[in-house]
């Protein structure tokens, strides 16, 4: 089964500080995603990527940057963190090849609190 | 991607068979129907997917209407571990955008 690992799992940041959330996948998937999920709400897509060097805006990209330096790694960067970015962030990977289609594999989540 | 419509919540009792409906009236011919589930504090987990024929695996049975405008995820003999939010999503396989949007899903409550 695909393995997606996120770090850090928990983080407290100060307003205005820089936060980097990292994601690593070990199954050579082309596509990677960053979502956020707030209490009582569904997943909202922030950024996604088709492969190394590619980043695309999702539905709520404002205040976030993404970086895909390699097939395995996809980072989410908050240059100037704000309290409204307090949330749980999920990374996922997937591949459109073959019948597995767009089956996504998710990480365990990174819980971010901005104070 | 075509939109799906699911009930906000459903309730069940352990041992029952649960039918989770999903409406997708504007589905395109190349779009597959995917189901994921998410328990609190964890990332979503793939359940099953299908195109036109009904499918079954160890987790669930997916029944797809003949016109493909609706589908039903059937969970036999549910247990407390099946309590989760279930998401129905449409995705094209080859050639489509990688963008994948989740809705609110159906929150399934299982009581003992």
Dump pLDDT digits (tens) for B21-32. 999 999 988 888
* Predicted local confidence at residue B106, as pLDDT: 96
In B1-112, alpha helices (H)? none
Residue A3 has pLDDT above 80, yes or no: yes
Could you say which residues of chain B have pLDDT below 70? Answer: 1-2, 93-98
Averaged pLDDT of chain A:
91
Summarize pLDDT for A63-113 with one digit per residue, the tens. Answer: 999 999 999 999 999 999 999 999 999 999 987 665 555 688 999 999 999
User: In this predicted structure, what is the pLDDT of residue A56?
Assistant: 93
Preceding omega of A8 cis (within 30 degrees of 0): yes
Asked if residue B68 lies in contact with residue B99, where contact means CB atoms within 8 angstroms, the answer is: no
Calculate how close chain A gets to B96, using CA atoms only, in Å: 9
**CA distance to partner chain B, nearest, from residue A79 (Å):** 24
Q: How far is B13 from chain A (nearest CA, A)?
A: 23
Q: What is the pLDDT of residue A100?
A: 54
pLDDT of residue B2: 59
The string of pLDDT tens digits covering residues A27-56 is 888 899 999 999 877 889 999 998 999 999
| CA distances in angstroms from A80 to A23, A34, A85, A113, B44, listed in the order given | 20, 18, 10, 13, 28
- Give the pLDDT of residue B72: 97
- CA A69, CA A22: separation in Å to the nearest integer? 11
Which residue of B6, B48, B90, B100 is the best one to mutate when testing the A interface, meaning the one whose CB has the most A CBs within 10 A?
Answer: B100
Among residues A97, A55, A98, the alpha carbon closest in space to that of A73 is found at A55
DSSP code, position A11: E
Cβ contacts (< 8 Å) between A4 and chain B: which residues?
Answer: 43
At residue A71, the pLDDT reads: 95
Least CB–CB distance from B93: residue in A42, A101, A104: A101
- Predicted confidence at residue B41, as pLDDT, reads 82
Contact B102 A42 (CB under 8 A): yes
B11: contact with A, CB 8 A cutoff: no
Subunit contact A92:B34, Cβ cutoff 8 A: no
């Amino acid at each position: 089964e695909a393995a997606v690992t996120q770090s850090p799992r928990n983080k407290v940041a100060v307003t205005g500080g820089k936060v980097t959330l990292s994601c690593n996948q070990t199954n050579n998937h082309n596509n990677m995603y960053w979502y956020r999920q707030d209490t009582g709400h569904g997943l909202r897509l922030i950024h996604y990527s088709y492969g190394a060097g590619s980043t695309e805006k999702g539905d709520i990209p404002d205040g976030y940057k993404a970086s895909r330096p390699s097939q395995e790694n996809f980072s989410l960067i908050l240059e100037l963190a704000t309290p409204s970015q307090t949330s749980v962030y999920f990374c996922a990977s997937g591949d459109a090849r073959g019948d597995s289609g767009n089956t996504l594999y998710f990480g365990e989540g990174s819980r971010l609190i901005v104070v | 991607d075509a939109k799906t419509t699911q009930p906000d919540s459903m309730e069940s009792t352990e041992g029952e068979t649960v039918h989770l409906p999903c409406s997708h009236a504007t589905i395109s011919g190349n779009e597959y129907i995917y189901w994921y589930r998410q328990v609190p504090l964890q990332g979503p987990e793939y359940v099953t997917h299908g195109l036109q024929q009904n499918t079954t695996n160890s987790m669930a049975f997916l029944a797809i209407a003949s016109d493909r405008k609706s589908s039903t995820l059937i969970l036999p003999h549910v247990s407390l571990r099946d309590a989760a939010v279930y998401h129905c999503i449409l995705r094209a396989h080859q050639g489509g955008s990688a963008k994948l949007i989740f809705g609110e899903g159906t929150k399934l409550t299982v009581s003992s």
